[in-house]
């Protein structure tokens, strides 16, 4: 049974993905709720050395303004907000990616979760409070990081990104109505609709998929 390291395993999406993957893989779940700090290089190195037999890394963790406990900080445009978003959403991805490649010698693939807002700007009129600019730039950075590393290490390992839309959960009714107008499928995504792509990227069937950004948004970005 191959081993997968899944970050953000305790999140809204992460829990369901963890439960799906553990049916076919040995899954190591990492999450801030479990006390893991993926911005700390020493801790990242220690985790990877203990799991150097891992074949896949899925980065699903992140810092989001609408989910942040510290709402005041996450909606500001301060230097501290810049650091918060980019440290958690980008620098931690760099640390896990580059060290996974170096330490896990038989690794096959990395999946970095970006965001729909890593490929295009939010539609500002839909938001009562605009999405934080640093959330957007950090997610664009995830895609840049993915492509950069894929071009360097593609002979050894496949490195791809997923840009997904919003999941159907406890979303404000007015916001959801505005969002659905812009989605050709006329509904939000179900977490289960990520399973097929993840399973593909964690298999030999994706052997020639490298440096790609797979968009799963019901057609939102098509217009």
Read off the DSSP letter of residue 194.
G
Q: Which two tokens stand for residue 194?
A: 């990520």
Specify whether the CB–CB gap between 85 and 135 falls below 8 A.
Answer: yes
Q: Going by C-beta distance under 8 Å and a sequence separation of 6 or more, which residues neighbour residue 96?
A: 5, 7, 38, 44, 48, 57, 59
- Is 135 annotated in the active site? yes
Neighbours of 210 (CB within 10 A): 20
Catalytic residue among 135, 140, 153, 220: 135
If you search the block for the tokens 């990877």, which residue do you land on?
A: 48
Specify whether the CB–CB gap between 189 and 115 falls below 8 A.
Answer: no
Exposure string over 133-149, b if 16+ CB within 10 A, otherwise e: ebbbbbbbbbbebbbeb
Residue numbers annotated as active site: 135
């Amino acid at each position: 049974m191959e081993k997968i390291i899944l970050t953000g395993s305790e999140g809204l999406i992460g829990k369901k993905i963890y439960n799906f993957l553990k049916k076919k893989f040995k899954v190591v779940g990492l999450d801030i709720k479990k006390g893991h700090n993926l911005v700390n290089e020493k801790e990242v190195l220690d985790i990877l050395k203990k799991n150097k037999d891992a074949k896949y890394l899925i980065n699903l963790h992140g810092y989001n303004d609408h989910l942040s406990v510290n709402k005041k900080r996450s909606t500001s445009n301060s230097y501290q907000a810049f650091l918060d978003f980019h440290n958690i959403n980008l620098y931690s991805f760099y640390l896990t990616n580059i060290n996974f490649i170096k330490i896990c010698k038989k690794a096959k693939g990395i999946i970095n979760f970006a965001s729909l807002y890593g490929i295009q700007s939010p539609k500002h009129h839909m938001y009562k409070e605009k999405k934080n600019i640093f959330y957007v730039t950090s997610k664009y950075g995830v895609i840049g990081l993915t492509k950069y590393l894929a071009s360097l290490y593609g002979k050894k390992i496949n490195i791809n990104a997923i840009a997904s839309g919003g999941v159907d959960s406890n979303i404000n009714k007015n916001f959801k109505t505005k969002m659905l107008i812009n989605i050709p499928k006329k509904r939000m995504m179900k977490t289960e609709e990520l399973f097929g792509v993840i399973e593909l990227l964690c298999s030999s069937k994706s052997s020639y998929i490298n440096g790609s950004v797979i968009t799963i948004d019901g057609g939102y970005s098509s217009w």
